[in-house]
Amino acid sequence: MSPSTNSTTEVANASYTPANFASVFAFVTTFSPVVRSNIREPEELEDTIRCVGGSDGLKHFALLLLAAAFNRAPGAKLSEGQWPRLCSDLASDSIDILRRLQIPEAVADSIDSFLGHDVAVRVDVLFWLCEVALASNSSVKTMVDQEVAKARNPSTATHAKDRLIRLEPFAEIAKQRYWIFGTKSRFLYLESTSQRAKGKLELMAQTPDEFTSVAAELQTQRTHAHRELASRLTEEIVPFLATQARKRMRVEKALQRQAMALANVHIYETRTRKRQKVNYNVDDSLASLDF
């Protein structure tokens, strides 16, 4: 089945492996207390990898993942000068992972050398660091162990939306996996595990209408699993997106009201030639909004 929605596109172009990109995003967002990255959405990771706005963001991000791979304290900062030695040491201890990737040895020469390679190599390097951190970082292991313990104890089990849901697909039917990513938004991705299209990851839906369209098509399928997935999308994801949309609207209206108030104060100051004390801190007026 291949639902046809207006947003059905590749996660990114063919310049890198979409599955590796998705794995990096899943690791960073799931274990954000360990990595301490500001990346929250797939587009932010995409821009970072492609150095949109400069290369400093990718340098910082790569060093954070390198620190996590070496089991450093959460948020530990490494210097660019440490990159060559640490990458070389890490490579010798993770040959099994590297065999599955196409990473030139030159990426370990310097972090600038890493940045000098194409996007496909950058994604593979970040994926390599995430895989090592997932296997060796003690803080990551603690988070996973705590989540497993919660799941085994009904009295402490957390709601599905609060779990480390990105450690496993949202649903898996036949040879297709459905992934949900996003924090204040939701993105539905379809991954094929068949030999012909293995690793291909497609964006199926990101708006309430698109999720509703996908759910409607899933409902037409014969299997119970497809219809159950349709119900989950309709009952869990669509209401969440509607709530987020209402919150955004409240924030936008609050910003508009404050902009009008500031404009009126400016007119008043101009006409009276008097200076009035004005609070230009937008955060204060939005503090009551849970967004």
- The structure tokens listed for 90 are 């890490």
Q: At CA 225, angle to CA 221 and CA 228, rounded to 5? A: 90
What SS3 class is residue 57? helix
Query: In sequence order, what are the beta bridge partners of 176?
Result: 173, 192
Per-residue pLDDT tens for 185-201? 788 888 776 666 565 67
Q: How far apart are CA 148 and CA 95, in angstroms?
A: 29
Q: What's the pTM value of the predicted model, to 2 decimals?
A: 0.55
Instruction: Look at 244 and 132; give whichever has higher pLDDT.
Output: 132
Q: Which 8-state DSSP code applies to residue 15? A: T
Evaluate whether 49 touches 126 at the Cβ level (below 8 Å): yes
Q: Which amino acid is at 178?
A: Y
Per-residue pLDDT tens for 1-51? 333 333 333 333 335 677 788 888 888 988 889 999 989 888 899 899 999
Instruction: Look at 249 and 148; give whichever has higher pLDDT.
Output: 249
Instruction: Look at 219 and 281; give whichever has higher pLDDT.
Output: 219
Mean pLDDT of 118-143: 90
Among the residue ranges 134-143, 168-177, 195-204, the one predicted with the least confidence is: 195-204
Mean pLDDT of the residues in the chain: 78
Query: In sequence order, what are the beta bridge partners of 9?
Result: 203
What SS3 class is residue 200? coil
